[in-house]
Amino acid sequence: MSESTFATLVSRWYERNARDLPWREPGVGAWAILVSEVMLQQTPVVRVLPAWAAWLDRWPTPAALAEDTPAEAIRMWGRLGYPRRAVRLRDCAAAIVERHGGEVPDRLDQLLALPGVGTYTARAVASFAFGQRHPVVDTNVRRVVCRAIAGQPDAGPATRPADLVATEELLPAEPAAAALASAAFMELGAVVCTARTPRCVVCPVESSCAWRASGQEVPAGPTRRPQRYAGTDRQVRGLLLAVLREATGPVPLQRLDQVWHDDVQRARALAGLVTDGLVEPDGEESFRLAGDGPPIPRPRP
């Protein structure tokens, strides 16, 4: 099967079977798509849907977010996870206002230069918001290409340059068709060619899939060991942030001391939040969300 046939079959399947997601609706702007892509990193769609709607209701443009504080971005992010994304998204909005007059740029190099926008996100926005031809490679796409084309059951834990090349070779030459194919590859991996329980009987390329032809089984164990959460610094960080998000001003250290029993781990988690720019000290014995209040005077050198 040729590359063009592969893309055509998957794209036709996508047009009939794609999930009804709001950021895929006609007329959705580049800012809304950028927000969705940042939120969807390491986060399930079901959790992103209400957060995305609330975020855009409050900040429908980059300028609206850039005018607000990092603290408010962190508060709105809530329990979505990996809250540094909220600060980076606000920094990204500020850069869009400063460098591009408040409009999300359509050039790949300009997208890549935005704070917090990496290889995947830049290509996703260029493709899905502006209809350009770029290989958009996430875990789902890597798995589809690895199985259907290379005949291997698993693509491994990390994206490599070869993955971009292999995916780009499958894209149609026409930009709009390539953007559609990129979305289709991703959707196929998310809902059909899944890691543990692929639904090969409903796959549009099942008859030509190199992996199916090889007769190999799905690997018995997960490609990546699931990350433990309970008892980790990540859990403690979340507990500390929950208290700070609910506060309207500085929180005494004595109050933060109550969220976790291990003094050393709690101090380490709090220090990490400060280092990551999510939390600021307010005096010697209290803390606040970053930017939540007037600038803190710094001692002169």
Per annotation, catalytic residue among 3, 15, 25, 37: 37
Burial class (CB in 10 A: 0-12, 13-18, 19+), 18: middle
Distance CA 137, CA 152 (A): 17
Distances (CA, A) of 140 to 42, 125, 145: 12, 17, 9
Cβ within 8 Å of residue 297, ≥6 positions away = none
Distance CA 67, CA 80 (A): 22
Distance CA 216, CA 148 (A): 12
285 is catalytic: no
Distance CA 204, CA 48 (A): 28
- Residue in the structure block whose two tokens are 């606000």: 90
Reference 141, options 82, 76, 195; nearest CA is 195
- Residue in the structure block whose two tokens are 């260029």: 126
Q: Which two tokens stand for residue 211?
A: 């992996």
> 222-257 b/e with 16+ CB inside 10 Å = b?
eeeeeeeeeeeebebbbebbeebbebeebbebeebe
Distance CA 241, CA 128 (A): 33
Strand partners, 280: 288
Q: Which residues are catalytic?
A: 37
